[in-house]
């Protein structure tokens, strides 16, 4: 019984370590994509930048639908919890709809934020 419990603890620790490694790489990807989007906004134009942001939203919406796990909590802190299952799928679908709107109507989105 004690050996099985130790294995479970070790498995949870390995999952947490892997999740931290994935999170660090994911933050690097997010930062890189943010810098690319700012360069597009500055040097190409507002509509192109907004369309690129829509593509990023589409990427993250697909990721949400595949992972089916959305963390929530205070930024800069560990997540308080996760949306999983049906609520995560609903969040992913809403994000997909918003991404499609941003890609298809960038001028309208830009006017909304002015």
**What is the domain partition of the chain in residue ranges?**
2-112
CA distance 76 to 19: 16
Model pTM score: 0.72
- Residue 113: what pLDDT? 81
- The predicted-structure confidence for 17-75, as pLDDT tens digits, reads as follows 445 445 667 778 888 998 999 999 999 999 999 999 999 999 989 988 998 888 888 88
The burial class, CB within 10 Å (0-12 / 13-18 / 19+), for 54 is buried
pLDDT digits (tens, 9 = 90+) for 83-101: 888 999 999 999 999 999 9
CA dihedral angle for residue 13, residue 61, residue 78, residue 10, rounded to 10 degrees: 0
């Amino acid at each position: 019984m004690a050996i099985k419990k130790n294995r479970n603890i070790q498995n949870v620790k390995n999952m947490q370590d892997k999740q931290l490694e994935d999170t660090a790489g994911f933050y690097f990807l997010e930062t890189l994509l943010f810098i690319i989007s700012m360069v597009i906004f500055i040097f190409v134009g507002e509509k192109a930048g907004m369309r690129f942001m829509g593509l990023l939203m589409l990427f993250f919406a697909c990721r949400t639908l595949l992972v089916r796990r959305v963390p929530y909590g205070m930024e800069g802190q560990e997540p308080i919890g996760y949306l999983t299952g049906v609520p995560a799928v609903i969040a992913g679908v809403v994000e997909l709809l918003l991404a499609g709107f941003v890609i298809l109507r960038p001028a309208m989105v830009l006017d909304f934020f002015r």
